[in-house]
């Protein structure tokens, strides 16, 4: 027998030498939820270990992550219903929750990369990512709102803005607005391939941002988020957003769409991000709590699969756990 592949698996040393894919803390982004009340903390039952945090607690969490080697956080604001309205006007308030959180993070941890979400749903009373009129989510009326939101976040100190709304043309609108306001160095992470997925449930519960349908409000986001059946359409979105000025391209969700991550990687030279979403993280936690799998091993295996598929950047709620595990190796 001349060919024995097992020779390359015989010891930890040889396995390390021939390993094709690596995972490190430099690949990870930690999503964080911020709420009002400087010292407040509201646990998220469906996401053990995570909570909506007041700004002081948010800063402490980000500082702990940064000390473990995590270079970036992504912020998502949880607003009270009283602060929401149909046109998401709080999203551009200089003293709004997200803007205050960005400023606090940049003061406390200057080297931390702060990524902000550009979408109407955390701020809108109807829960949609765009303007709703006549029972429809209206694309072009939404673009100026998103552009103004991105500029407000950049003014607060955001390093990268991340449009997650899936409106057509929003990357160009955001890029032009940022450049006109003097923020040509602020990057854009486009959620260019975002599916209408069942795996977002814990996230929407954390932000109370699910659509609130009535006679004039659509029940779901299927007219703007992508059909899970499609992959060629994803490549069209990639080409459009790259041409409009995106700096990174995001695929969301992650694990059920690793084939899409691979296809996007093959189609672009831009950095590719993938989102290990709330439902994926919650499933690992739930199974581990029941003793059905080893959470630590399953987490690292999941994150490694993103890297193997071609992701350069991984947004994951398991970033801190993964960083601790990687540092112990």
The 3-class secondary structure across 214-258, one letter per residue, is: ECCECCCCCCCCECCCCCHHHHHHHHHHHHHCCCEEEEECCHHHH
Nearest-angstrom CA–CA distance, 161 and 112: 14
Contact 290, 328 (CB under 8 A): no
Which residue in 84, 106, 221, 252 is the catalytic one? 252
Q: How many residues can be counted in the chain? A: 329
Which residue in 194, 221, 285, 329 is the catalytic one? 194
Contact 150, 184 (CB under 8 A): no
285 is catalytic: no
329 is catalytic: no
- Positive or negative CA dihedral for 63, 66, 70, 72? positive
Q: Where are the alpha helices (DSSP H) in 2-70?
A: 12-18, 55-67
Task: Kindly give the pairing relationship between strand 160-163 and strand 113-118.
Answer: parallel
Q: Which residues are catalytic?
A: 194, 252
């Amino acid at each position: 027998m001349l060919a024995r592949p097992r020779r390359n698996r015989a010891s930890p040393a040889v396995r390390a030498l021939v390993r094709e894919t690596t995972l490190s803390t430099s690949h990870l982004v930690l999503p964080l939820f911020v709420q009002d009340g400087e010292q407040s903390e509201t646990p998220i039952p469906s996401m053990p270990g995570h909570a909506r945090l007041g700004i002081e607690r948010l800063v402490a969490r980000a500082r702990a992550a940064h000390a473990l080697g995590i270079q970036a956080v992504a912020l998502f604001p949880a607003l009270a219903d009283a602060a929401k309205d149909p046109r998401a006007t709080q999203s551009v308030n200089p003293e709004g929750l997200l803007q205050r959180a960005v400023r606090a993070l940049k003061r406390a941890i200057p080297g931390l990369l702060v990524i902000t979400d550009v979408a109407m749903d955390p701020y809108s009373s109807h829960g949609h990512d765009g303007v709703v009129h006549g029972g429809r989510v209206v694309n072009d009326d939404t673009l100026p709102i998103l552009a103004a939101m991105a500029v407000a976040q950049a003014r607060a100190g955001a390093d990268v803005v991340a449009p997650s709304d899936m409106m057509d043309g929003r990357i160009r609108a955001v890029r032009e607005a940022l450049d006109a306001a003097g923020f040509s160095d602020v990057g854009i992470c486009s959620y260019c391939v975002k599916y209408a997925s069942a795996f977002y449930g814990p996230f929407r519960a954390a932000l109370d941002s699910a659509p609130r349908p009535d006679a004039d409000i659509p029940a779901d986001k299927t007219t703007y988020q992508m059909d899970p059946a499609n992959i060629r359409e994803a490549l069209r979105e990639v080409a459009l957003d790259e041409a409009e000025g995106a700096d990174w391209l995001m695929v969301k969700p992650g694990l059920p769409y690793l084939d899409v991550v691979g296809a996007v990687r093959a189609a672009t030279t831009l950095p590719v991000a993938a989102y290990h979403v709330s439902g994926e993280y919650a499933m690992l936690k739930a199974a581990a709590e029941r003793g059905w799998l080893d959470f630590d091993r399953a987490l690292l295996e999941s994150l490694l699969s993103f890297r193997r598929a071609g992701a350069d950047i991984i947004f994951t709620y398991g970033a801190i756990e993964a960083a601790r595990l990687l540092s112990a190796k």
